[in-house]
Structures are given as C-alpha cells and as structure tokens.
C-alpha cells in the first residue's frame, strides 16, 4: 500500500476516487490541497452520497459536503490513536506530519489486536513442576535445591566448571568486576555497541569505561581497535583492569583474535554473553572464553527466569568469592560479622525452578529463532532490503534477534519505526552505541578505522525484527508483509 497512490486533489473525479479506494485496500482515500496538505478522508459511502446528490460519476470531488476532518499528528502514541478512533467510532485515522501532510493511515484493527512482540517469554512444560517443588518443600528463598541444581545443570550445558545463579545479568557483571579487583580510578575497556547494562557496573565501581568499536564481520568488538587502544593506554602505563567483550544478538565475538591480544597485554576478559546463551565459537560455548562470563535471563532473552543472571568461570576461587559477596559478604561466625561490602544478588529458588525448566528447552528455542531468521532472509532475498548481521564460518549464532541494516534507505528511521509500531509490530532499533550516550560523553572511543565507526553505521540504519521463539507463522507473515509494504 503506497500512500501517494490514494492521495487525490479536489479536481479529481468520483471515478478516480473509487480507483484510489480500491488501491488503498482500506476502503478510503485522502483528499489533499495543491500543497499536499490534508483536507479530509473520503470513503465509498461519501462517494455514493455524492453520486446520489449529483447523479453522475464524472463529478469532481470539490462537490463533497464539507466535514470536520479527523486526523492525528505523527507524534501521537498508539493509545491516543485508539482513543480517538473509539470516541468517533471510526476504523482508520490519517496521520499527518507537522506540515499537515498525510504520511500514514492507521487501521484500528491493527492496534486493537495484540501486537507482534520483539521477543517475549516462552515457557516450556517443566517450569511449573520445579516451582511446584519449591512450594511443596517451602524453599521460598534465595537458596535451595532449584538454585543448586540450576547452577550445576547450567554449568554442564555450557561446559564451564563453576556457575553462580544471581538476580540479574547486571549483578553478574558487577560481581565479575569486583572479584577482578576493579575499583575507583581503574579503566575498563568495553564494546561500544551494546545495552547500557554492560557498562553501568563499571561506573558502580567508580572506574572509567573506554569504548571499543565493532568490526563489520561480527558486529562485535573489533580486534584491531582493541589492539590500538591497549597500545595507547599501555604507553601511558595505564592498562585496563579488564576488557569486557559483548556477544551481541546471539553471536560470539572473534574470540581467537581478542583473547590473543588480551593475553599479550595480560588483561583479563569478562565475556558478556547476556544475549548469546547457546551460541558457539569454533564449537565452544559463547561466554566461556574469558576469565569470567555472564548470562542474562531477563524476560526477553532466549530463555528467561523473568529476571536473573549467571556468572561462570573456570576459576573456582573467583566464583566462591562472588558467591560470598552476593549474599551480603557474611564472614564465618555464629553471628552477623562483616568485613567487606556485600550485595543482595542471589537468585530465588522459585526463579531458579523456572530456569531449570527453560534450560531443558534451550536447544528448541535456538532452533526456532534460527528458523525465524531464515524465513526473514528468504522473504526479503529478492528485495535486498537488509544487510543481515553476518554469521561467519566457525560461528554459530542463536539469532536471538533477527537483525539487519537497511540497504539503500535514506529516510528517517524513527518515522519508519513509528509506522511499524502503528501497525502493531514491535520493531526495535539496534543499540545506540555507548560512546554516543550522554552518560558516557567524556569517555574515550577507539573506532574500527580512522573516520569509520562501524557501531555508528550499524545503529544509523539497523533494526531488530520480532524474533521470539513463540512467534507464530501468521505473526511473522504479518511482519514480513508490513515490512514489504513500508520499505
């Protein structure tokens, strides 16, 4: 549906208006003036009344009876649009830009039906049984058999010897920094293209983040930019206390190259695998390459405990230290004795039950997300709309989210995004790089190449499409059709 094909001026005939209405497939066309400004909506009912009044279909639209037109500004949210349509008992509303020109038409049925979500929780059959066990045994606490077993089962799944279940991925990142001794005045390198939760814990510790660009091959940390940054800070005698490598959208970073560089400078790696549980790099699970790795079970992740996280390491001492800190750092004594700052970061036994059930279906969830991604790829193949997030040889992405950068698109991406939302489709932009966030405006940034910031380019035209493992085939068809018509 192309808007310009059902915009008409007053000198058009009723016959032309009927053709435009048929073209819109919405039972309406829009009347505009010679400057493109909106005058009114025309339905086939309006045309019928006009023919009855004037008796022929060659009559011009300027003979329509004047009405008070209904419209909404492009800045209105969907709830306001629905409110207007309900109040006036109408099924569609034109959307105008600030110059009063039509840019879209919203159908009531699109915003009244449940939206197609980006990535919603997808429960299996076993979660409820583990929760039931917790209730039966009254283990309603941040410890208990589900927590212990979730840690063991998770560690086995990702082939890491030690795992600690926590209240969030952010808590896991925070403890990773604490046990590596990151403190006030330290520097921590961090991928720029990520969610703010990756870098916030650096600030909790009073340390300073330095951001590293992505490489085009993986969208994850660029090895050459990392090397340049290490050289630069090494020369000043101020090497970072840790390098935080983020594995975005279900895909590992280039770990061979990154580990080699970090080893050379003897800087430990924290691997933020919040978004990449189940991904692999050269057959090894994502999240197990660093000194410490973290995962998130937030509601939108590939498996969820509603909220939760996991810290993993081959180093038992680090995990034991984090375990101690995660429960208020209680020193061994028969009373409450504390000599260190502690945190309340443990996962509850009920949520760990959800996690155990979810872990059972992880492989199915990966399969579904990859299938969804492949369907998008084949649906848009001919149209060349997207440059998809690459999956190089030797990488196995879970395709947690189907992400791509728009090709040949020079419009306003925010406006496009609003058009999706108005059609009941939750499309999101790629993370806004952290070096461009006001919060980090004073932090250093090392780009891929001089004058070529990959993370900025990906952000500028990058979109994440609905990718939940419970996305129905009809839901995905709706997304595909809308993208085809809007782009």
In the complex with ligand PLP, which residue's Cβ is closer, 192 or 349?
192
For residues 220 and 482, which CB has a smaller minimum distance to ligand PLP in the complex? 220
Closest CA to 195 of 422, 434, 423: 434
Shortest spacing between CB 274 and ligand PLP, in angstroms: 3
Distance CA 128, CA 126 (A): 6
For ligand PLP, give the closer residue by CB, 106 or 434: 434
- Stretch binding ligand PLP (CB under 6 A), from 74-82, 84-92, 271-279, 338-346: 271-279
* Residue 68 neighbours by CB distance under 10 Å: 6
Asked if 119 touches ligand PLP (CB under 6 A), the answer is: no
Q: Select the span of 66-74, 113-121, 269-277, 330-338 touching ligand PLP (CB under 6 A).
A: 269-277
Exactly one of 197, 267, 302, 362 binds ligand PLP (CB under 6 A); which one?
Answer: 197
Lookup: tokens for 388: 């998809």
The region of 32-40, 84-92, 272-280, 374-382 touching ligand PLP under the rule CB under 6 A is: 272-280
CB nearer ligand PLP, residue 107 or residue 245: 245
Nearest to 417 by CA among 195, 4, 118: 118
In the complex with ligand PLP, which residue's Cβ is closer, 57 or 437? Answer: 437
Phi, psi of 338 (to 5 degrees): -135, 130
Residues numbered 205-264 forming contacts with ligand PLP, rule: CB under 6 A: 246
Binding range to ligand PLP, per CB under 6 A, among 99-107, 119-127, 193-201, 327-335: 193-201
Instruction: For residues 213 and 69, give the distance between their C-alpha atoms in angstroms, rounded to a whole number.
Output: 50
Contact 454, 214 (CB under 8 A): yes
> Which of 12, 119, 149, 194 lies at the binding interface for ligand PLP (CB under 6 A)?
194
> Is residue 208 a contact partner of residue 188, using CB atoms and an 8 Å limit?
yes
- Of 337 and 439, the one with the shorter C-beta distance to ligand PLP is 439
User: Considering only residues 274, 311, 389, 471, which one is a binding residue for ligand PLP as defined by CB under 6 A?
Assistant: 274
The pairing of strands 445-446 and 402-406 is unpaired
Contact characters 305-324, ligand PLP, x per CB under 6 A: ----x---------------
Indicate the SS3 state at residue 21: helix
Could you say which of 195, 219, 373, 446 contacts ligand PLP (CB under 6 A)? 195
271: contact with ligand PLP by CB under 6 A: no
Smallest gap from residue 200 Cβ to ligand PLP (A): 9
Question: Could you please report the per-residue DSSP string of 34-103?
Answer: TTS-EEEEEEHHHHHHHHHHHS-TT-BGGGSPP-----EETT--HHHHHHHHHHTT-SEEEEE-TTS-EE
Report in angstroms the alpha-carbon separations of 303 from 12, 128, 250. 56, 15, 12
Q: Given its phi and psi angles, is residue 296 left (phi above 0), alpha (psi -120 to 50 degrees) or beta?
A: beta
**Residue 298 lies near ligand PLP (rule: CB under 6 A):** yes
Stretch that binds ligand PLP, among 43-51, 117-125, 195-203, 378-386 (CB under 6 A): 195-203
Residue 38 or 295: which CB sits closer to ligand PLP?
A: 295
Residues in the chain: 487
- The Cα–Cα gap between 19 and 440 comes to 54
Q: Which of 198, 286, 304, 348 binds ligand PLP (CB under 6 A)?
A: 198
Q: Which two tokens stand for residue 71?
A: 């419209």
| Other Cβ atoms within 10 Å of 420 Cβ, number | 22
SS3 293: strand
Q: Among all residues, whose Cβ is closest to ligand PLP?
A: 169
Helix (H), strand (E) at residue 387: strand 386-388
Q: Least distance in Å: CB of 173 to ligand PLP? A: 6
The two tokens of residue 456 are 């900025």
Say how many residues touch ligand PLP, by CB under 6 A. Answer: 14
Residues in contact with ligand PLP, shown as a per-residue x/- string from 144 to 183 under the rule CB under 6 A = ------------------------xxx-------------
Identified binder of ligand PLP from the candidate list 12, 192, 214, 296, rule CB under 6 A: 296
CA–CA distance, 60 with 41 (Å, rounded to integer): 15
Which one of 191-199, 220-228, 374-382, 439-447 is the stretch in contact with ligand PLP (CB under 6 A)?
A: 191-199
The 3-state DSSP class for residue 134 equals helix
Taking residues 365 to 404 in sequence order and writing x for each that binds ligand PLP by CB under 6 A, - otherwise, the string is ----------------------------------------
CB 338 within 8 A of CB 328: yes
- In the complex, which residues of this chain contact ligand PLP (CB under 6 A)? 168-170, 194-195, 197-198, 246, 272, 274-275, 296, 298, 309
């Amino acid at each position: 549906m192309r808007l310009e094909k059902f915009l008409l001026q007053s000198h058009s005939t009723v016959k032309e208006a009927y053709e435009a209405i048929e073209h819109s497939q919405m039972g309406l066309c829009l009347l505009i003036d010679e400057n493109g400004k909106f005058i009114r909506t025309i339905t086939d009912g309006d045309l019928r009344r006009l023919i009855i009044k004037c008796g022929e279909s060659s009559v011009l639209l300027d003979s329509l009876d004047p009405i008070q037109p209904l419209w909404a500004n492009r800045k209105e949210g969907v709830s306001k649009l629905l409110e207007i349509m309900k109040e006036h008992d109408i099924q569609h509303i034109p959307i105008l830009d600030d110059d009063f020109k039509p840019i879209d038409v919203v159908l009531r049925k699109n915003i009244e039906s449940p939206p197609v979500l980006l990535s919603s929780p997808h429960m299996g059959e076993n979660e409820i049984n583990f929760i039931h066990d917790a209730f039966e045994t009254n283990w309603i606490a941040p410890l208990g058999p589900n927590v212990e077993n979730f840690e063991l089962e998770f560690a086995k799944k990702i082939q890491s010897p030690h795992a600690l279940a926590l209240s969030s991925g952010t808590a896991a990142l925070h403890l990773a920094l604490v046990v590596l001794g990151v403190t006030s005045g330290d520097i921590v390198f961090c991928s720029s293209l990520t969610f703010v939760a990756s870098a916030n814990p650096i600030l909790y510790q009073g340390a300073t983040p330095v951001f590293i660009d992505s490489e085009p091959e993986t969208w994850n940390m660029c090895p050459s930019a990392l090397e340049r940054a290490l050289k630069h800070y090494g020369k000043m005698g101020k090497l970072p206390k840790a390098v935080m490598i983020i594995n975005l959208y279900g895909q590992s970073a280039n770990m061979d190259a990154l580990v080699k560089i970090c080893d050379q400078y003897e800087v430990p790696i924290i691997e933020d695998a919040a978004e990449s549980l189940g991904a692999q790099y050269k057959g090894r699970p994502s999240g197990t390459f660093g000194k410490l790795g973290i995962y998130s079970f937030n509601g939108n992740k590939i498996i969820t405990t509603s909220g939760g996280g996991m810290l993993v390491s081959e180093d038992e001492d680090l995990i034991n230290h984090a375990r101690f800190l995660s429960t208020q750092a209680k020193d061994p004594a028969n009373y409450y004795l504390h000599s260190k700052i502690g945190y309340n970061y443990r996962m509850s036994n009920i949520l760990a039950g959800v996690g155990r059930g979810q872990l059972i279906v992880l492989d199915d969830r990966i399969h579904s997300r990859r299938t969804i991604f492949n369907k998008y790829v084949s649906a848009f193949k001919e149209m060349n709309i997207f440059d998809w997030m690459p999956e190089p040889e030797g990488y196995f992405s879970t395709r947690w989210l189907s992400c791509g950068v728009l090709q040949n698109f020079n419009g306003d991406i925010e406006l496009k995004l609003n058009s999706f939302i108005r059609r009941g489709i939750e499309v999101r932009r790629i993370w806004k790089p952290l070096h461009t966030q006001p919060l980090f405006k004073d932090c250093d940034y090392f780009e891929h190449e001089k004058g070529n910031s990959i993370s900025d380019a990906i952000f500028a035209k990058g979109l994440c499409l609905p990718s939940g493992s419970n996305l129905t085939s009809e839901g995905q068809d709706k997304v595909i059709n809308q993208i085809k018509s809007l782009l």
